[in-house]
Amino acid sequence: MRLGIIGCGVLGKFHAPCAVKAGFSVVACSDPVKENAESLAAQYGAKVVNDAMALCALPDVDVVAICTPTPYHAAYVVEAAKHGKHIFCEKPFCRTLKQCEEALAAAKKAGVKLFVGHVVRYFQEFCAIKQQIADGKVGKVGTVRTYRGGQSPLGEGAWFRDFEKSGGVTLDCIIHDFDWLRYAFGDPERVFAQDLRERIDEGIDYAMVTFRMKNGIIATVTGSWAHPSGFKVLVEVCGDNGMITFDSREAPLASQLRGDGGMAPGVVLPASPVNDSPYYLEWADFKGWLDGKHEPRVTPEDAVWAVRMGLAAIESAEKQQPVTF
């Protein structure tokens, strides 16, 4: 299938080879920084489209990949759906629940398939943890703790450090863990959170978010954009018959930078020590869904739920009170 990519910075460049390996062909690239689009397009013999909205209407594009900053996701989803394009959208799905609802409604009305990249569901370590839980290896689970974070990203125009745009470490980073918690343990009942968002413009953000799940499990998620460098992920699942732990420092890490030396860092992406990257696996899952072979591991409704959990955590930190779902 023919793929058009909107947003050709760090994530667009990262997703392109994964999509190609999964069976897509990159035919069009668009980015407000023209050099980004030109660089990516040159790698795949694709054309550069200056107007991203126009890319959504191209007759030779079957699928649109949206790899832009979060505030622009909804508008591009709506436009791509209007032109009958299937859609891959980076997480978080949208910045607000209203945007999520509008984007999801547009995709349903158009009858197109919408896939949101909650890639942690495809990380082999997290798959193994979920399977061991399902197999009863630790008995009845009582508590879960996760940690995710590292160096504060900047992004084009330092958008990551604008809380209104990114939602900080809570909505942009540990939303991965929120989604995985719900995937593994079901819906949350309530949440209480604290954060340091008032220092995000300095490159410092930190959040501690505790969920009580409907099944009684207590899950605490810590996120940090305060490290001088690097990135790490920790997981601890405790049951009445044992404990599962994972520490990403025992596996390799890949740091992806936006541009050449001297440019601001984009995001730091954890790698995996296995042959098939989780980022490829999510694209392969999307391709299988488009080909009618199976249902996707991540549904659009799952993506909305992840945003709901992130925004509830932000609301709790603002009010300094628990928020019930």
- CATH (domain of 242): 3.30.360.10
Parallel, antiparallel or unpaired: strands 205-213 and 218-227: antiparallel
- Do 304 and 179 touch, CB atoms closer than 8 A? no
Does some domain include residue 294? Answer: no
Does some domain include residue 287? Answer: no
Domain ends where: 84, 117, 150? Answer: 117
**End-to-end C-alpha distance for the chain, whole angstroms:** 39
The closest of 7, 91, 21, 18 to 56, measured between CA atoms, is 7
Same domain assignment for residues 98 and 230: no
Same domain assignment for residues 7 and 128: no
243 beta partners:
238
- What pLDDT tens digit does each residue of the chain (325 aa) get? 999 999 999 999 999 999 999 999 999 999 999 999 999 999 999 999 999 999 999 999 999 999 999 999 999 999 999 999 999 999 999 999 999 999 999 999 999 999 999 999 999 999 999 999 999 999 999 999 999 999 999 998 899 999 999 999 999 999 999 999 999 999 999 999 999 999 999 999 999 999 999 999 999 999 999 998 889 999 999 999 999 999 998 865 444 443 443 334 566 565 555 678 999 999 999 999 999 999 999 999 999 999 999 999 999 999 999 999 9
Does some domain include residue 73? Answer: yes
- For residue 289, the model assigns a pLDDT of 98
Same domain assignment for residues 152 and 197: yes
272's CB contacts (< 8 A; 6+ apart) are 123, 124, 125, 251, 278
| CATH number, domain containing residue 66 | 3.40.50.720
Same domain assignment for residues 170 and 221: yes
Domain ends where: 87, 117, 147? Answer: 117
Domain count for the chain: 2
Same domain assignment for residues 225 and 305: yes
- For residue 273, the model assigns a pLDDT of 59
Does some domain include residue 278? Answer: no
Same domain assignment for residues 144 and 212: yes
- Do 1 and 23 touch, CB atoms closer than 8 A? yes
Q: Look up the domain containing 113 and give its range.
A: 2-117
Same domain assignment for residues 218 and 303: yes
Same domain assignment for residues 102 and 231: no
Same domain assignment for residues 94 and 140: no
Same domain assignment for residues 173 and 237: yes
Whole-model pTM: value is 0.92
Does some domain include residue 226? Answer: yes
